[in-house]
A = this chain, B = another copy of it.
């Protein structure tokens, strides 16, 4: 073999993001206002008014291709195009006739796909005269991407980081500080909601929901700031389509076309960023049998177990109400290592496509995902983050099915990043201490009893 890595020359880097909205066979259901519960205008803007004008427009845009500003392209050129790999060594170890490719976002400076949208959001903020961006982060993957983006565009950045992670995972905090951001353990005394929770319990461990509420409140009360979000919403998925657009060109270089595309979904932005540019071919009839498999943890099986219903996008009920698959916005999933997949809901675009039967979903247990991650490490070398270990599990399963059937299918993995800050999870797996969590049916039932009541409309 001549090539196991497909490099795309920067002069051929895609210059446009792909917006799936105008190509959907049915339009996305309108959002609902979190307070009034009434339908919001189809053309936006998102409430509350804490987003930049540019992303608010993109959120509801009907343009099929949206040009990537030259300044954002320049920033992308510090790490993009990322590489498409052919996993020859994994194929050989599995003794499968399947061809396995993986598009790897782990070589971005922040270690994941997150900078693809962070850089765009920071650029627009700078252009609109914003002084600082405010966001929340759990383990720190999103926060670190935004921190880097703000350094690139000379913006201040304030990150509310879940207090327990702030103390337990200093690595990600230091990363963000190295890029110049201000990190605040949440709950904090900087916001009303934070002060209230600290008064109740000065040692409050925090949660992602609380951190979101603090970030939104802080942005709302700061004229020089805007809020920035790292997944779920349309404009984030839009920015991530650079991944799939690049991959299309690279698969062409490899003279290959995927039969199966597999990726993990938490909010869904990495995987949608990969598959949306391909689903065009399914919608247009060019590749009607293309399989797109969303993988989620059995501990948080939004698509595979949740009802399709109206729910808040955030735990605090400050974000719009969305028609989606959800386990209830008050549901707290078991502590699987794949923190990025512990979201009660799912991107509205992914929910819509799943409802329409255009994409599939599977739920897997975490021990099996780390087993796949270790196999990948020992064949391809890369230490995979817990989230994309989910992709690896299903990709390996599909490759093994090919071994049985003798079919030489082409499998494309949307590999979102490295696990350099997740080694404790590998340690647990290797020492036999890692456990699986069964689907917490009772807790979901309870959370689903607290869905917002939405009037007909």
A positions within 8 Å CB-CB of B:
1-5, 7-11, 74, 77-79, 85, 88-89, 107-111, 115, 148, 151-152, 170-171, 174-175, 177-180, 374, 377-383, 420-421, 423-424, 426-427, 430
Contact = CB atoms under 8 A, between A and B. Distances in A.
A174 B430 contact: yes
A109 B383 contact: yes
A374 B179 CA distance: 7
Contacts of A4: 10, 74, 77-78
A236 B78 CA distance: 30
Given A78-B4, A378-B151, A420-B421, A426 B383 contact: no
B423 A170 contact: yes
A108 B5 CA distance: 13
A382 B175 CA distance: 10
A223 to B, nearest CB: 26
Contacts of A379: 151-152
Contact of A10 (B2, B175, B180): B2
Given A79-B381, A85-B78, A89-B152, A178 B9 contact: no
B381 A109 contact: yes
A396 B9 CA distance: 28
A268 to B, nearest CB: 25
A95 to B, nearest CB: 15
A179 B419 CA distance: 13
B78 A380 contact: yes
23 contacts: A1-B74, A1-B77, A2-B11, A3-B10, A3-B11, A3-B77, A5-B77, A7-B10, A78-B89, A78-B380, A109-B380, A111-B420, A151-B377, A170-B423, A170-B427, A174-B424, A177-B427, A177-B430, A178-B378, A178-B423, A178-B430, A179-B378, A180-B378
Most buried by B among A11, A79, A115: A79
B77 A179 contact: no
Given A79-B381, A178-B430, 4 more contacts: A4-B74, A109-B382, A151-B381, A180-B378
A178 B374 contact: yes
A427 B174 contact: yes
Contacts of A79: 5, 381
A396 B238 CA distance: 37
Given A178-B426, A383-B178, A423-B175, A9 B7 contact: yes
Contacts of A179: 377-378
Contacts of A424: 170, 174
